[in-house]
Amino acid sequence: MVSCIFCNMQPPIFENDLALAFFDKNPVSKGHVLLVPKRHAKDYFKLTSEEKLALDDLLGLCKGYLDNLYKPDAYNIGANCGLEAGQTVFHCHIHLIPRYAGDMANPTGGVRGVIPEKQNYKD
C-alpha cells in the first residue's frame, strides 16, 4: 500500500524476516518504539502466528536495547485494534512505551487509562 506510512518507513532500528521496529515519530516517552509486520495487515487479529512470533522476538530485542540506552523503570505494551479503540493507522502496530519513575502522578491501572474513569479501581 503506497499510502500507508508503516509500509514505507525506513530505516528500522531492528528487523527480522517478518517484522520491523522503528522509533515512534510522536513518542509518548523517550525511547517509544513501534513494531510492525512487514505484510500490511489491518490489526493484531489479522496476523499469522508466525508474524506474532516475529513481533515478539523484536519486542525482546527492543526492550534490551532500550534498557541499555535509556534505562527505563518499566514498560507499557499495547496495540489499538479498530477505530473505536483509537487506531488511526490501519497497519498493525504494537507500541513499546518505556516508563520512567515520576512520568505521571499516578500510573496505577496502566493501560486501563484508555478509559480514564476505569484506570483506578479497588478490588
Task: Give the CA-trace dihedral at 68, 17, 42, 47, to 10 degrees.
Answer: -100
Catalytic residues: 93
Report residue 55 as a C-alpha cell.
513481533
Q: How crowded is residue 78: how many other Cβ atoms within 10 Å of its Cβ?
A: 16
